[in-house]
Structure 1
Amino acid sequence: MAVLPLLLRIRRRHQCLHHQIRTFINAKVKWVRDPYLDKAVENEKNLKPLLSLKNLIMSQPSETLPLSSISPLKTHLNLPTTASKFAENYPLIFKIFNPPTKRPMIASHPHVKLTSKAISLHNDETLILNLSHYKKDVAERLAKLLMLTRAKRLPFYVIDKFQFDLGLPHDYKLSFLPDFPDYFSICEMGFKDFNGYEAFGLELVRWREDLAASLVEKLARNEGIMGSKLQFSMNFPRGFDLEKRVKDWVEEWQNLPYISPYEDAFHLAPNSDQAEKWAVGVIHELLSLMVSKKMERDNVYLLGDYLVFGLRFKMALVRYPGIFYVSNKISTQTVVLREAYRKNFLIEKHPLMKMRYKYIKLMNTVMRRGRPMPDSVMQRRKRSANAAKGGKRKEKGDEWTEQMSKIA
């Protein structure tokens, strides 16, 4: 009796594989720089290494660290320069000093600690991280990330890449996960890690139907839109215009049935437009789970490779510039969810992002004659210097556009 349903599933899969074909027209979708979203990315330059160093210092009993002990951790902390120079670049956050010694004739090694303003921000941040409703919010977004996978589990080496963007505490394995035994359990992944040891990861204890609604579905529900033909919001920078034939194709693609990223749609033909819309939905939902609605492109690809999406994620970032923007600022490539921003400002600011903006404000305030002063003067000087050089420098985006156009 169980043979008939199986045959029906095989027949349905056969129909999907043969009747859903790729119809994307033979045209290049050019990459156009968005100065506002570039600024949103550039504003967070060095924020992640700064917070990593800050957390390391505050984890010490003395809340200080010798600079010599930080140097070996430069790669781990992603410091762009030496520890001493990095600390000197942010005098309103770090303070370098020589601690007193019992032997005055012997000079002590320089140490670094936080300034009083930075300590005050750290304490406010700690209060937020310890709030029960904040912890629940993080737990639900982490659970939704696991729900995007078929097995409802991810290895820790993948989760660690999402740690900062999800807003997980820096020591989340010890300080956060034990608080949610009804959500998560540590599991063996069944393969070796990069060092040849058994890989461990995080598994969802049970499927949570109350969380299995994507941002697209929630927004449509709020607007009273029903059915499966949900569309993605599209915004383009000033001066950007799709070719008419591309625009027509995108409109037809938007009218395809929307498949939730929390559904298993691997039965779709990999090269079909429907599968591509589903892949776009997965990336869209992934970015919506991040506190800043953006993340490094390589981390998007990392999840795509783990989910066996192949080139789908890469093509999605090229073909839908109205949904995703790839910025080439701060020596990396960052994928931004367009609809989450108005110019260079987040429309809805997560509580943790409000705290991070306070760190950014302190980072961008420079000391002049012993007094803090906004960085606007320095920025004007830089703009003047760049204008004097004349012409525009070729950025990494140009080369990236060439490579991606070949994929598309």
Structure 2
Amino acid sequence: MAISSKLPHHLNFIRTFVNAKVKWVRDPHLDIAVQKEKDLKQTISLKNQIISSPSKSLSLSAASLLKPLLDLHTTTTKFIQNYPSVVSQFQPSPGLPPRIKLTPQAWALHKEELAIHSSPTHRDDTVKRLAKLLMLTGSSRLPFYVIEKLKWDLGLPHNYVTTLLADYPEYFEVCGVEDSLTGTEVLALKLVLWRQDLVVSELEKRAMNWDTNGSRKRHEIAFKMCLPKGFDLEKKIETWVEEWQKLPYISPYENAFHLAPNSDQAEKWTVAVLHELLWLFVSKKTERENLFCLAEYLGFGSLRFKKALVHHPGIFYVSNKIRTTTVVLREAYRRDLLVEKHPLMGLRYRYIHLMNKTQKHKQAIVSAKSQQRG
């Protein structure tokens, strides 16, 4: 966070969350938004491994060793067989071991992906979002292994250190830091200079747009609530939320750690940070463990993030699909579709379409065989 004067003491009052349990209600549309990206990250990661090879192909034996790196839930060979529309097997010549390569359709999508990553507009947007992420930390720096966890969510190119960061020395530099979690020395990315032009959060930006005079006060900024149909909060919780929404909005780029951690005002600031974090991601969602990891580096600790997610189901949705737990920013979606689709997300949906071609073809074959047996 920026090193600035503390916020007024009159904001530091304590009102603890009402003693009532906020029930979890499944949102089928947001579950679909998560479910349809099943195996997408792993497929694109495998694609990147293939194109990183000088021959633009990998031996099947070499690919089999990638299972831990790709975080596959099955063998690499089985995974490749599931998506022949993306990756195909071939034998270079008789007697040589089989290899894998991208299909022409996957190559075409990869070229479009490269075009997006090399676009000046996209590069500028990516750099600014990464800078804002660093500004949310207390020291304007993050270990590279943390950034690697968020690489997919931030929409960073495969070799982002050499293809992106190296071109922006006025923004970033590499440094060594003591990892607060392990106590060891690790490499980190540091923001060279605090960027005052970037300290406006998404909610503040909207408030400025709503107010033609640009004078909307922060206490008028509230979070958009998007409770699913049929979801009703208990009356005492609903009343608490209404009062909580009226509390002054504190920018996530300000330092408000002087507030009592259990106060409602502190929780509103925590929610503001979570909201801004999710907004920086191209899909407006991420795995819950990524947020908990970030919580430690932002100085909150995972418990404060956990409470904020549980207390505010109208702002955040937690999905348990595709073998993980994903936090989704509700307002960013209309049913299962993003309201504002980042160019990279448009391309990812086309990868999904290509992957699903295989599944639909398999289903058609199985159906045909069943009819024949019948």
Tell me the equivalent position of 2:185: 198
Would the aligned equivalents of 2:6 and 2:256 in 1 still touch at CA under 8 Å? no
- CA-based RMSD of the aligned residues comes to 2.3
Could you tell me how far apart the structure 1 residues matched to 2:51 and 2:6 are? Answer: 58
Q: How does 1:228-267 map to 2 (within 5 A)?
A: 228-229=218-219, 230-267=221-258
Question: Cα distance 1:10–1:153, how it changes in 2: closer, same or farther (>3 A)?
Answer: closer
Q: Secondary structure at the match of 1:149?
A: coil
Tell me the equivalent position of 1:403: none
Q: Which runs of 5+ in 2 are unaligned?
A: 369-374
Comparing 80-89 and 341-350, the one that deviates more: 80-89
Would the aligned equivalents of 1:192 and 1:198 in 2 still touch at CA under 8 Å? no
Tell me the equivalent position of 2:200: 213
Could you tell me how far apart the structure 2 residues matched to 1:341 and 1:112 are? Answer: 37
Question: Could you tell me the percent identity over the aligned residues?
Answer: 55
Letter in 2 for 1:56: Q
Would the aligned equivalents of 1:253 and 1:277 in 2 still touch at CA under 8 Å? yes
Q: Secondary structure at the match of 1:182?
A: coil
What is the CA-CA distance between 1:366 and the residue it aligns to? Answer: 2.4
Q: How does 1:2-401 map to 2 (within 5 A)?
A: 20-101=13-94, 107-191=95-179, 198-224=185-211, 226-229=216-219, 230-310=221-301, 311-366=303-358
Q: Secondary structure at the match of 1:187?
A: strand
Could you tell me how far apart the structure 1 residues matched to 2:170 and 2:7 are? Answer: 39
Could you tell me how far apart the structure 1 residues matched to 2:365 and 2:229 are? Answer: 27
- Output one character per residue of 1:363-403: Cα deviation in whole Å (capped at 9) or x when no partner: 111277xxx68x7x79999xxxxxxxxxxxxxxxxxxxxxx
Larger radius of gyration: 1
With the length of structure 2 as denominator, give the TM-score of the two structures. 0.91
Query: Number of residue pairs matched?
Result: 359
Could you tell me how far apart the structure 1 residues matched to 2:359 and 2:51 are? Answer: 24
Would the aligned equivalents of 2:90 and 2:98 in 1 still touch at CA under 8 Å? yes
- Output one character per residue of 1:107-160: Cα deviation in whole Å (capped at 9) or x when no partner: 321111111100111111111111111111100000000011121111111111
Comparing 198-207 and 222-231, the one that deviates more: 222-231
What is the CA-CA distance between 1:193 and the residue it aligns to? Answer: 8.1
What is the CA-CA distance between 1:22 and the residue it aligns to? Answer: 3.3
Q: Which runs of 5+ in 1 are unaligned?
A: 1-8, 102-106, 382-408
Would the aligned equivalents of 1:47 and 1:360 in 2 still touch at CA under 8 Å? yes
Could you tell me how far apart the structure 2 residues matched to 1:45 and 1:204 are? Answer: 34
Question: Cα distance 1:42–1:85, how it changes in 2: closer, same or farther (>3 A)?
Answer: same
Letter in 1 for 2:331: E
Comparing 54-63 and 249-258, the one that deviates more: 54-63
Q: Secondary structure at the match of 1:44?
A: coil
Question: Cα distance 1:69–1:234, how it changes in 2: closer, same or farther (>3 A)?
Answer: same
- Output one character per residue of 1:148-192: Cα deviation in whole Å (capped at 9) or x when no partner: 112111111111111010011121112211011011111111348
Question: Cα distance 1:11–1:207, how it changes in 2: closer, same or farther (>3 A)?
Answer: closer
Could you tell me how far apart the structure 2 residues matched to 1:233 and 1:246 are? Answer: 16
What is the CA-CA distance between 1:218 and the residue it aligns to? Answer: 1.0
Bigger RCO of structures 1 and 2 (CA < 8 A, at least 6 apart): 2
Would the aligned equivalents of 2:275 and 2:329 in 1 still touch at CA under 8 Å? yes
Could you tell me how far apart the structure 2 residues matched to 1:118 and 1:239 are? Answer: 41
Q: Secondary structure at the match of 1:188?
A: strand
Letter in 1 for 2:281: M
Q: Secondary structure at the match of 2:207?
A: helix
Would the aligned equivalents of 2:16 and 2:262 in 1 still touch at CA under 8 Å? no
With the length of structure 1 as denominator, give the TM-score of the two structures. 0.84
Question: Cα distance 1:239–1:178, how it changes in 2: closer, same or farther (>3 A)?
Answer: same
Q: Secondary structure at the match of 2:218?
A: coil
Could you tell me how far apart the structure 2 residues matched to 1:305 and 1:58 are? Answer: 35
Question: Cα distance 1:30–1:131, how it changes in 2: closer, same or farther (>3 A)?
Answer: same
What is the CA-CA distance between 1:206 and the residue it aligns to? Answer: 0.6
Letter in 2 for 1:87: I
